[in-house]
Amino acid sequence: MLIHFNLDETYKRISKWYPILMTLIALSSSWAMEQEGKTEMLPSSSLAHSPSERQVVRILTIDGGGVRGVLPATILEGVEERLEAKLKEKVQLADCFDIMAGTSTGGIIVLGLNAGKSAEDLVKFYRDYGQTIFPPVSTWGKITSWAGPKYDAHPLEKILAEQLGDKWLSDSIGDVLIPADNMGEQCAYIFNSSRAKKLKSQNFRMKDVGRATSAAPTFFEAATIQDQKGEEHTFLDGGLYANDPTYEAIRRAEKKFPGCDLFIVSLGTGEPPRKFGDLSLKSGGKVAWAPKIADHLMGRHQDRHLKVLEGLKESLENQGRNVEYYRIQLPIEEVISDMDKAANIENLRQAGLFLLNPENPMGYYKTLKQIVSRLQDYKEKQLV
């Protein structure tokens, strides 16, 4: 059978996205530089308080990364198990942090925790539903994905509805921040549970927030959802704005708890090896760049983001404030790095477990123990 493929039409489709992607690159760079500049203008209110008087704000942030979200879910499961063993009681991780922020797949994890799910439940979510959300794509499906989304979003929407029910963002257990990109207004947007408790226009169903923050261009259609007033809004994946939402969480802490000390647990979704010296796209055009530009953009954005956080941490410490920053990011092989390959979930899960193995000298077992110890102190003070 002869398959007719309209290259002109495909080129038009790619061209429609190209200006948006180019704009995002420019915005990413300017946004990072703007924020980097702001690190020099942080509040100095902490100077009026002794360390014993300052509140320690506990922050959890989780990156985006598709099926690779099973990695941070596995790490949280390890934290949960060890904390329960220490306290000799069931623990709800959403009660252990003052502020939680997650992007895309990380946003779904944060929403799950704040809907009362355990970390064990969230690991099960990836293992049970990864294949349904990201089914294998046929050759014809790969061809047609040049002209439309690669995956049907309805299975994801159905699963989110089953897992999160009809809970509103305002029902969150803790203080939640979920980045997205407001497509209609062409601007970054943060779903904020504190604002959602005050304004119906800022309140959305949790299942819809999960769908919005994970609406990755080329993978899923943009998400059109309704706020509590019934007004519609269209969103794209939060990774276009802040794939690692740590900075947004710190901004929230500065506003809610001025002059606070910070305890930050930041979980990545795995970092594939970089191809240094790869100049294959040196002369690439729109067709060559289209499938790779998102990864390239988010990778460079993350580099810049970490530099901004480094400057921010130094600025806070110069004010006499204490910042504990635990970044857990596992190097992963390129063969399991695809964000939409569900067949990789078990290998990613095992990589996460090996990461936490006390016999693994290159792992994060010591870091895990420190995190658990700090959270244990926090929970025990709550019980007093």
Looking at the annotation, which residues are catalytic?
104, 237
Coil/strand/helix, residue 243: coil
Tokens of 259: 């002059």
Residue whose token pair is 């003070």: 381
Q: What does the DSSP 8-state code read for residue 259?
A: T
**Is residue 143 within a helix (H) or strand (E), and if so which, with residue range?**
helix 139-144
Structure tokens at 263: 């305890």
276: tokens are 């240094």
The SS3 assignment for 108 reads: helix
Beta bridge partners of 46: none
Continuous segment of H or E residues that includes residue 102: strand 99-102
Give me the phi and psi of 189, to 5 degrees please.
Answer: -145, 140
Inter-CA distances, 166 with 88, 161, 315, Å: 32, 7, 42
Beta strands per DSSP E along 155-293:
175-182, 187-192, 223-226, 232-236, 261-267
What are the C-alpha distances in Å from 75 to residues 70, 219, 277, 341, 359? 9, 26, 33, 20, 16
